[in-house]
Chains A and B, each alone.
Chain A
Amino acid sequence: MNNKYKIIILGITVVIIFVLFLRVLNSNKTYQPNQMIGKKIPEFILEDLFNKNTRLDSKVFSDKDFAVLNIWASWCIPCRIEHPFLMDFRDKNQINIIGLNYKDESVNAKNFLKKYGNPYSLIGVDKKGEVAIQLGAYGVPETYVLKKGKIIFKHIGPLNEDAVNKILELKK
């Protein structure tokens, strides 16, 4: 092979490798599990925070065309940042938000909602955090959007303007 072509091929190879490395370097390093997207919500039955006789059954999501599941806890500081967003979100958009109270003390959770308002139509108590693992969550707050029981979107961390807009787009 001609030396000129060899140099061109070598140059192209170096550029491709450089671009690949640059892309990896600039990519988001925080791992965000999205394995559950497109899957059906795992089956669970949880006690309701306010009424011990009421249960949050995962089947409730299959009956709803559109639902939002928010994992939260009173001890979680980012949840406090998120809370006004949730209140506003529910009031303005009439969206059904179901809460999953994660590894919390019932008294603290109730006080939290008394102080900041309750955006949830139903709240399941996940005392051991096992349902959160079933959902593929790894912390609080996390928000799942479901259509007929299927997870179609997931947001890790407190909800923000962008996430809310994305959820509203999905509702259309």
Chain B
Amino acid sequence: MKKFIFIVIFLILSSNVFSANEELKNKIYKNIRCIVCQGQSIYESNSDFAIDLKKLISKKLDNGENEKQIYEFLISRYGDWIVFNPGLNFNSLALWLLPLIVFMIGGFLIFRLNNKKRK
């Protein structure tokens, strides 16, 4: 009986680990652009390039590398374009800040216009 309970617990735990690993894999696949496809992630694509990248990512995860290390490796090889969400860096700073600046200038102009009208 003890053996049976031990096996059940082991199976439950290992299936949890397996599904967490699969979730992480899929999360990474969905954030990696298939650069030979039209707007697809490698998760959605069955191109040779996507399949090769999936295999490599899976291997890297099995070797203990984390998500960040995998993104860093791919960016070092293919540039920021390879990830759908490159995050905030020096090159994308303008892209992140420009809408905020435009929004603030717009707000300021509306505020000034309103003030003028009141006067």
Contact = CB atoms under 8 A, between A and B. Distances in A.
A30 to B, nearest CB: 10
B79 interface: yes
B79 A133 contact: no
Contact of B52 (A33, A128, A136): A128
Q: Summarize A's interface: helix, strand, loop or mixed.
A: loop
A33 B49 contact: no
A133 B35 contact: no
Contact of A139 (B49, B56, B76, B77): B49
Interface string B15-39: 0000000000000000000011000
A133 B49 CA distance: 9
21 contacts: A31-B35, A31-B81, A33-B35, A33-B77, A33-B78, A33-B79, A33-B81, A33-B82, A35-B78, A35-B79, A128-B52, A128-B55, A130-B52, A132-B52, A133-B56, A133-B77, A134-B77, A138-B49, A138-B78, A139-B36, A139-B49
B61 interface: no
Contacts of A103: 48
A129 B77 contact: no
A14 to B, nearest CB: 16
A36 interface: yes
Interface of B: 35-36, 48-49, 52-53, 55-56, 75-79, 81-82
Interface string A24-51: 0000000101111000000000000000
Interface string A115-147: 000000000000011101111101100000000
B77 A35 contact: yes
Given A31-B35, A138-B36, A130 B56 contact: yes
B16 to A, nearest CB: 30
Contacts of B52: 128-130, 132-133
Nearest to B34: A138
Nearest to A42: B77
Nearest to A136: B77
A31 B35 CA distance: 7
Contacts of A33: 35, 77-79, 81-82
Contacts of B82: 33
